[in-house]
Amino acid sequence: MRHKRFVGVLVGLILALALSAIIGMGVGAVMKPPGEVITAFVTGEPLIWKYRAPRILVGICAGIAMAVSGCLLQSALRNPLAAPDTVGITSGGGLAAVAVLMGSGALPAHLLTFIAFIGALAGTGLVLLLAGRGASDPVRLPLTGVAVSFGLGAITELLLVRAAPEAGAAMTWLKGSLYARSLGDATIVAPFILLALTVAMVVAKHLDMLALDDSTMAGIGVSTKIWRLIAVALAVILGAAGVAAAGVVGLAPDSSS
């Protein structure tokens, strides 16, 4: 019964994703109804294949990465409010992108994607460094992450204020955008997303054990610290890829617990 329900939900989500992609490819300076989008997609119309389909692909990659990243962080930190911005991912990527845009002006989109990815990793690295031995602590790590995120966010705001006339491109990126995204952007982040997702699926049973308390895990011979760090590392890679692909996108955490 549960299997049938899972299959039904999965099929429904795939259909919803396909419908959203079709509608998304129809949005632009030249609006197209769904029927024309499907025809243009099948016939290989450049407007769809060169510009709009890559934009949708990047959006899907970013959505998958951010969703799984948030799920892993919530599991590792045992906190339903945990999200990529909890460990400095979004603030690090945002600061790196804004700093480069303010310093050098317009950049190729794929280069900005790479810089944001490195910045997101650096932001999390700073959080882990400051957390020290408490990097595997479900309380100390998010508190350190929030503090670092506020600090990096303040620096980002300072850069925007000092370069107000030229801040348009940076503000667009900070609000999250798929503008001018191309297949090149997808090829930068997709390998990291696929690698992290593959590893996460392989070790999923061990990651599920993070829901148990530390004493129970120790009793069955499972290292809480190691698997929590693995979950955080995978979440960081996915979150960094998501931020690099689509800018600073917020994650709506599960606050039902």
What pLDDT, in 10s, does the model give residues 38-93? 999 999 999 999 899 999 999 999 999 999 999 998 888 887 778 888 888 999 99
What residues have CB less than 8 Å from 231, skipping those under 6 apart? 72, 73, 75, 76, 207, 210
Q: Quick one: how many helices (H) and strands (E) in the chain?
A: 12, 0
d(CA 190, CA 184): 10
Specify the higher pLDDT residue, 168 or 162: 162
Output b/e per residue, 66-90; b: 16+ Cβ within 10 A.
bebbbbbbbbbbbbeebbbbbbbbb
**Looking at the domain assignment, is residue 104 inside a domain?**
yes
C-alpha of 155 from chain center: 21
**CATH label of the domain that carries residue 143:** 1.10.3470.10
**Looking at the domain assignment, is residue 47 inside a domain?**
yes
Tokens of 231: 């979950």
**Looking at the domain assignment, is residue 91 inside a domain?**
yes
**Looking at the domain assignment, is residue 22 inside a domain?**
no
**Looking at the domain assignment, is residue 3 inside a domain?**
no
Inform me whether the pLDDT recorded for 133 exceeds 70: yes
Per-residue confidence band for 257, with pLDDT thresholds at 50, 70 and 90: very low
Largest CA distance in the chain: 62
d(CA 176, CA 126): 23
In this predicted model, what pLDDT tens digit does every residue of 99-129 receive, in sequence order?
888 877 666 767 888 888 999 999 999 998 9
pTM equals 0.85
- Report phi then psi at 93, rounded to 5: -65, -40
**Looking at the domain assignment, is residue 21 inside a domain?**
no
| Helix residue ranges, H only, the chain | 2-25, 34-43, 46, 53-77, 89-104, 109-131, 140-162, 168-174, 183-202, 204-208, 214-219, 224-246
Inform me whether the pLDDT recorded for 178 exceeds 90: no
Number of domains in the chain: 1
**Looking at the domain assignment, is residue 20 inside a domain?**
no
Domain that holds residue 179: 33-246
How large a percentage of the chain has pLDDT more than 90?
38
C-alpha of 109 from chain center: 17
**Looking at the domain assignment, is residue 223 inside a domain?**
yes
**Cβ contact 152:123 at 8 Å:** yes
Inform me whether the pLDDT recorded for 236 exceeds 80: yes
pLDDT of residue 249: 77
- What single DSSP character describes residue 33? -
